[in-house]
Structures are given as structure tokens and as C-alpha cells.
Amino acid sequence: MSLPFKPVVIVGAGPGGATTSLFLSKKKINHLILDKATFPRDKICGDALSGKVVEIAGYYDTDLIREFAEQQETFIGSWGVVFVAPNGKQLPVPFSLNPEKRKYAPGFISKRIHFDDFLVKKLNPAFAEIRLGTSLERIEKSEKGYILTLKGPHGEEKLETSLLIGAEGERSIVAKQLAGFKKELPNYCGGIRAYYKGVKDLHPEGFIELHFINEVLPGYLWVFPLPGGYANVGVGALSQTISDKKLNLKKALDHAIKTHPELSRRFSEATLESPVQGWGLPLGNKRRPLSGNHFLLIGDAGSLIDPFTGEGIGNAMKSAWLAADQVERSLKENRYDASFMQQYDDAVWRVLGDELRLSSIMQKLVKFPWLFNLVVNKALKNRTLRETISCMFEDLDMRARLRNPLFYFKLIFNRS
Ligand SMILES: Cc1cc2nc3c(=O)[nH]c(=O)nc-3n(C[C@H](O)[C@H](O)[C@H](O)COP(=O)(O)OP(=O)(O)OC[C@H]3O[C@@H](n4cnc5c(N)ncnc54)[C@H](O)[C@@H]3O)c2cc1C
């Protein structure tokens, strides 16, 4: 008996999978999208939606950005970032040098329980067959591609596909089984997240705060404002650092908000409103295969998280946008072999490669607290340097300056 055949199957309806589905629907390509969870569902995250999320949302439909801005109960606009150096000095950096020219905030913050549900509600049933509460259990090779065993509300079921898109996040079965991904401590981060209420002095323009405290360098503690007086608070550090220093992230967070001079003042009346929970961040600091015979990997399944900022939602959505183009090419040419699918890898690395390489370097530099303190001290005195750092959020060429040793030479010997 022949199995039901679905030409394109997306596994996972997080930002990566949902965005792939949206762009496939825009191209009028029928597909199946499934997720083991039913939505709304939580995802442990910092909840910060960078400019890249806004950019990709805008490619799909500029109305989405207007909706982010209007849904003030679940989204808050973010206009910049405050870097707090190991010496406690604060450097506020706006995301845009001309905020008055922008209609909407350059970034947003929204609890993932709301943001992911927002995207899933936008899926278009005219082209997307949506199965929630259905997990991928097993993958077997077949003549047309793969036979998938799914487990849903009505039990187990098998179907066949020619194109399998792994968007199931950090614990992707597709990545492990078909691309041979393994967890590598130097290319992995651990993070914990908690929701607090009543943290004092959150930035009125939704600036996110990155506190580079010595204990977790090159990781950081974050405080991100949310609607309704909430804040997303967490700590992330390299898995290698966690292992080498035998770090307990929950204790590190608790210790910092109780003893750090500024944080302890700001948290003195704050209440913990959630459990403190952890999850892994697969970092994009080396080029791994993102495709092969009859499959593609998106977002965390493809280890695409920015190694410096920990930002992964934007990269998941960007890879999704590029994956939809590859699906279109494959269907048109009826080709799913690894060499044809390689075009997707090339597109992702053309678009994200420079940025991921730079972020890997910056992650290594942050290991040196003195250098971080120096950059912040200088930037506080030097407007041009502050503006350079601001531009880095909008212009990658500016970020490339950080890679150049001359930048640090000038910084150290420039008296201004
Ligand atoms: C502590 C922490 C803080 C972070 N902070 C930020 C931040 O502030 N900003 C940012 O941009 N990024 C942040 N990230 C990274 C971000 O969370 C991820 O990069 C992002 O969620 C990746 O999206 P995704 O769609 O690839 O995967 P996910 O969001 O993980 O979605 C995967 C989906 O697949 C489903 N799934 C899994 N297995 C199966 C299966 N077998 N069958 C069916 N469905 C399955 C899951 O239910 C889930 O819905 C953080 C990560 C952590 C851990």
C-alpha cells in the first residue's frame, strides 16, 4: 500500500518553520507544517526581536511591523542597547542614528508565547496544511526522499516526502540524523531565563541591557523590558566556560542580582514571576552543512545563532526566507540532490556568513574584560566612536572595523 505523499514537509513551527511556511504560501507552494506543541506555547528565550526580524517580517508584509507596533499589550518597541562593561560603566547605544525618521521602532521585545503564536496565526491554510500537537518521531530513507513517522492526537502515522525541512530547533532530529550534527562545547551556549516584575529603572525607550559581568564572560546577564511592567532576565555563557568554571547559571544570576551594586538596587523590590528555566543555543561560529539529499535545515536546527549577541530568531527567519527560494527552485527543476540543494547553503553563507564570522571574533575579544572596559570608557568620551558602534547595528561594513587591529591601536593611543 502506498503512503500518503507530501512534496514539502516543514518540521517545527517556531519562527524558522512558520516563516518558511509564510514565504512558501506567498509563492503559492503547497506544504505540510507540523509542530509537536500546540500554540500558544512558551520557548525559553530573551524575547528580543532584532532589526533582522523586522526586516524579514517586512519582506513578507509590511503590515506585520505595523501590527507589532500596535499590539502594545504583547510587543514593546526597542530603540537601542545598553552595554554594561565589567567595570560597571554603562554605554547606551541607539539602534538608529536618525530615530526621528523611523515610523516604527528598529526592534521589538515580545514574550515568545505571544510572538510565536502571532506567526502561527498568520499561516495560510490555503497552501499550508497545519498539524499542531504532532511530532516527527522517525526518518527512513525512501526512493522519493524520506518516509516520516509522525505521532499526533490520533496515534502514529507514516507519510512520504521529497523535501524535508528541519526547523525543530536545538534538538533537531533532522540535523542529527541527516546532517550528522553533534553538540560541540566551544560552539554552544547555555542560557537561563526568568520573568520578573518591578525591576526599577527599565529604559523608557525599551533599550535592552547586556551586563558583561566577570563571572560569565564572554557571556552576559541580560535585562530586557517587556509590556506590563515585566522584564525578561537571564544569563547566557559558553558551554565550554560553564564546564571549565563549573558555573551554575541559576546561582550566578541570583548572586548578581543580590550583590551587584547597581543590579541589587534595581531588583530590591522585584518579584520573580516564573520558574528559572534553561535551554541550549547552538552557535553559528563555523560553517556546517545546511542541506543534503532531500533536506534543508533552518534556524537553530542549522546552528545559526549569532555567537556574540545570542540572537537566533532573526537568523532563523532569514534562513527561512532563503529556504523558500530553494524549495521553489527544487520543485521547478524536480531536483533534490545534495549538489543542487547546496545553493541554499551558499545563499545563507553569502547573507549571514560575514556577520557570523565577525561575531565569533567579537565573542573571543569579549573574553578580555580590560579590552571591553577600554572600549566602553573611550566610547563614553568619544562621540564618533559611539556613533560608529550605533552604525554597526545598521551597517555591517562598520562592524568589520572591530576586526581590524588598527581600530584598537587607534583606540588605545587616541587621547580624545
Ligand atoms: C536562554 C535563551 C535566550 C535567547 N534569547 C534570544 C533573544 O533574545 N533574541 C533572539 O533572537 N534569540 C534568542 N535566543 C535564540 C532563539 O530562542 C532561537 O534562535 C530561536 O528560537 C530559533 O528559532 P527556530 O524556529 O529555529 O527554533 P525554535 O524556536 O526552537 O522552534 C522549534 C519548534 O520545533 C518544534 N519541535 C521540536 N522537535 C520537534 C519534533 N520532533 N516534531 C515536531 N516539532 C518539533 C518545537 O515545539 C518548536 O516549536 C535565545 C535562546 C535561549 C536558549
User: Residues 322-366: pLDDT tens digits?
Assistant: 999 999 999 999 999 999 999 999 999 999 998 898 888 878 777
**45-59 average pLDDT score:** 95
**146-174 average pLDDT score:** 97
pLDDT at residue 309, rounded to an integer: 86
CATH T-level fold of 5-65+112-183+284-362: FAD/NAD(P)-binding domain (3.50.50)
Hey, which of 95, 119, 300, 393 would you mutate to test ligand 1's pocket, going by the most ligand atoms within 8 Å of its Cβ?
300
- By CB atoms closer than 10 A (0-12, 13-18, 19+), residue 328 is middle
Q: Which atom of ligand 1 is nearest to the CA of 48?
A: 8
Q: Which atom of ligand 1 is nearest to the CA of 43?
A: 29
Lowest mean pLDDT among 24-28, 253-257, 410-414: 410-414
Question: Whose Cα sits closest to atom 49 in ligand 1?
Answer: 14
SS3 286: coil
**187-193 average pLDDT score:** 95
**64-82 average pLDDT score:** 95
Please tell me which residue, 411 or 322, carries the higher pLDDT value. 322
Q: Could you tell me if 116 and 41 are in contact, meaning their C-beta atoms sit under 8 angstroms apart?
A: yes
- Per domain, the residue ranges of the chain are 5-65+112-183+284-362
Q: Could you tell me if 33 and 324 are in contact, meaning their C-beta atoms sit under 8 angstroms apart?
A: no
In the predicted model, is pLDDT for residue 172 greater than 60? yes
Q: Give the C-alpha separation, 254 to 210, whole Å.
A: 16
In the predicted model, is pLDDT for residue 405 greater than 70? no
Helices (H), 27-126: 51-60, 62-70, 112-122
Distance (Å) from CA 351 to ligand 1 centroid: 21
**79-98 average pLDDT score:** 88
In the predicted model, is pLDDT for residue 73 greater than 90? yes
Backbone angles phi, psi at 184, to 5 degrees: -120, 120
Q: Which atom of ligand 1 is nearest to the CA of 208?
A: 8
Confidence grade of residue 264 (pLDDT, cut at 50, 70, 90) = very high
DSSP state at residue 169: G
Question: Whose Cα sits closest to atom 4 in ligand 1?
Answer: 45
Question: Whose Cα sits closest to atom 3 in ligand 1?
Answer: 45
pLDDT at residue 373, rounded to an integer: 75
pLDDT at residue 416, rounded to an integer: 45
DSSP state at residue 302: G
In the predicted model, is pLDDT for residue 124 greater than 50? yes
Q: Which atom of ligand 1 is nearest to the CA of 299?
A: 26
Q: Which atom of ligand 1 is nearest to the CA of 304?
A: 19
Hey, which of 38, 193, 281 would you mutate to test ligand 1's pocket, going by the most ligand atoms within 8 Å of its Cβ?
281
Could you count the other beta carbons within 10 Å of the beta carbon of residue 208? 24
Distance (Å) from CA 157 to ligand 1 centroid: 25
What are the tens digits of pLDDT across the range 355-387? 898 888 878 777 777 777 777 777 777 777 677
Hey, which of 45, 177, 283, 355 would you mutate to test ligand 1's pocket, going by the most ligand atoms within 8 Å of its Cβ?
45
**75-102 average pLDDT score:** 89
Task: Express as a percent the part of the chain with pLDDT over 90.
Answer: 75
Hey, which of 9, 35, 317 would you mutate to test ligand 1's pocket, going by the most ligand atoms within 8 Å of its Cβ?
35
Residues with CB under 6 A from ligand 1: 11-17, 34-37, 43-48, 50, 135-136, 167-169, 171, 173, 191, 193, 234, 236, 279, 281, 298-301, 305, 310-314, 316
Task: Express as a percent the part of the chain with pLDDT over 70.
Answer: 92
User: H or E element: which one contains 319?
Assistant: helix 313-333
Q: Which atom of ligand 1 is nearest to the CA of 17?
A: 25
Distance (Å) from CA 301 to ligand 1 centroid: 9
Question: Whose Cα sits closest to atom 10 in ligand 1?
Answer: 311
The whole-model pTM stands at: 0.94
